[in-house]
């Protein structure tokens, strides 16, 4: 089943062995890897690990597909209509047919880690019947249930399936393929039994709103030494305050002030590592703190160490937002 197209210019095959292929995706915003397992004809499992702000996909297909994407960490933007977007976050399942998978995909937190299961309905029925035994598992019916048209269906916060995907993150090599079969059956049985409720979809936002909020985020990141009120931002960017706050949280996963507090601590951590001559007071001022003691308390709450402990220890490289890098 051809899920990755070799003609994509920023995609290259790194390794291939048996039923496993490893691809690398790279652009100016970072890089990512996709580890692809052909479990049996018509069934593929992909491990997706991206550290980048965006990626471009040239994928187009005439195959009759059903794909289930599980987000383990990070966020990914997806289209929900003409010039409207919503976001997949940790714990979400996205079910789609890959009918509109060509184009630009934004990763607002500059990272995304997830697992995908993809099925070619023209190839899989016999193998699936063997897996399911006496149970009449109908993949086409599952596809119609979740994807009656080209739009994806997102199941937000699906705790019942968390364990399926978390257990796929640490599978001994010698049992990988039979274990994959078990997990494929478990997920499909879950989707077959799941009753879809109404009114559970997250809100979507129009392109103009999303672009405005991304511009606000960039402006704030460039002015970390200043405390700019939300009301001032609303006036400056001519967006209603309530819409601005709701859209920002949808795009970045947290309220503006919470996001900015974490970003300030990431920037401070970077400065502590890269500018050893700068005093803690200077770094505090650079990220908007007039009081070095308040800065130290906030830094310790975020990073588990005081600024001086962090600097002496060489700095913990774990950041809230990977785009705050060297």
Q: What's the rounded Cα separation, in Å, for the pair 123 and 320?
A: 42
Query: What pLDDT score does 98 carry?
Result: 92
Which option is the CATH number for 264-326: 3.10.590, 2.60.120, 1.10.10, 3.40.50?
1.10.10
The pLDDT tens digits for 296-314 are 999 999 999 999 999 988 7
The pLDDT tens digits for 76-90 are 998 887 889 999 999
**Which range is most confident: 10-19, 40-49, 131-140?**
40-49
- Predicted TM-score (pTM) of the model is 0.87
34 pairs with which residues across the strands?
23, 48
Query: What pLDDT score does 62 carry?
Result: 85
- HEC assignment per residue over the chain: CCCCCCCCCCEEEEEEECCEEEEEEEECCEEEEEEEEEEECCEEEEEEEEECCEEEECCCCCCCEEEEEEEEEEEEEEEEECCEEEEEECCCEEEECCCCCCEEEECCCCCEEEEEEEEECCCCHHHHHHHHCCCCCCHHHHHHHHCCCCCCEEECCCHHHHHHHHHCCCCCHHHHHHHHHHHHHHHHHHHHHCCCCCCCCCCCEEHHHHHHHHHHHHHHHHCCCCCCCHHHHHHHHCCCHHHHHHHHHHHHCCCHHHHHHHHHHHHHHHHHHHCCCCCHHHHHHHCCCCCHHHHHHHHHHHHCCCHHHHHHCCCCCCCCCCCCCC
Q: Which CATH architecture has domain 11-193?
A: Sandwich (2.60)
Mean pLDDT on 263-274: 95
Q: With contact defined as beta carbons under 8 Å apart, do 65 and 118 qualify?
A: yes
Instruction: Tell me which of 129 and 205 has the higher pLDDT.
Output: 205
Could you state, in order of their start, the residue ranges of all structural domains in the chain?
Answer: 11-193, 205-253, 264-326
> Above 90 in pLDDT, residue 198?
no
Query: What pLDDT score does 313 carry?
Result: 84
Instruction: Tell me which of 288 and 130 has the higher pLDDT.
Output: 288
* Phi (first) and psi of residue 141, to 5 degrees: -70, -35
Q: With contact defined as beta carbons under 8 Å apart, do 63 and 3 qualify?
A: no
The pLDDT tens digits for 206-253 are 999 999 999 999 999 999 999 999 999 999 999 999 999 999 999 999
């Amino acid at each position: 089943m051809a899920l990755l197209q070799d003609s994509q210019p920023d995609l290259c095959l790194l390794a291939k062995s048996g039923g496993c292929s490893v691809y690398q995706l790279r652009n100016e915003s970072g890089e990512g890897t996709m580890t692809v397992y052909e479990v049996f004809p018509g069934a593929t499992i992909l491990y997706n690990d991206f550290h980048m702000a965006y990626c471009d996909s040239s994928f187009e297909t005439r195959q009759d597909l059903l794909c289930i994407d599980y987000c383990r960490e990070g966020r990914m933007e997806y289209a929900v209509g003409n010039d409207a977007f919503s976001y997949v976050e940790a714990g979400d399942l996205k079910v789609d047919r890959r009918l509109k998978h060509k184009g630009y995909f934004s990763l607002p937190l500059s990272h995304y880690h997830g697992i995908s299961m993809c099925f070619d309905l023209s190839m899989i029925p016999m193998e699936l019947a063997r897996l399911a035994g006496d149970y009449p598992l109908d993949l086409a019916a599952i596809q119609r249930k979740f994807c009656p048209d080209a739009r994806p269906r997102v199941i937000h916060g699906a705790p019942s399936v968390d364990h399926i995907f978390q257990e796929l993150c640490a599978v001994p090599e010698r049992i990988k393929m039979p274990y994959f079969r078990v997990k494929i059956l478990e997920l499909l049985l879950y989707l077959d039994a799941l009753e879809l409720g109404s009114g559970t979809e997250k809100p979507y936002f129009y392109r103009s709103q999303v672009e405005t909020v991304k511009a606000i985020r960039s402006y704030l990141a460039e002015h970390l030494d200043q405390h700019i009120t939300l009301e001032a931002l609303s006036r400056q960017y001519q967006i209603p305050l309530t819409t601005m706050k709701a859209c920002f949280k949808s795009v970045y996963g947290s309220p503006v002030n919470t996001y900015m507090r974490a970003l300030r601590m990431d920037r401070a951590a970077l400065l502590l590592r890269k500018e050893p001559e700068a005093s803690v007071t200077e770094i505090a001022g650079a990220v908007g703190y007039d009081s070095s003691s308040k800065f130290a308390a906030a830094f310790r709450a975020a990073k588990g160490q005081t600024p001086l402990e962090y600097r002496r220890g060489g700095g913990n490289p774990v950041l809230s937002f990977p785009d705050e890098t060297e």
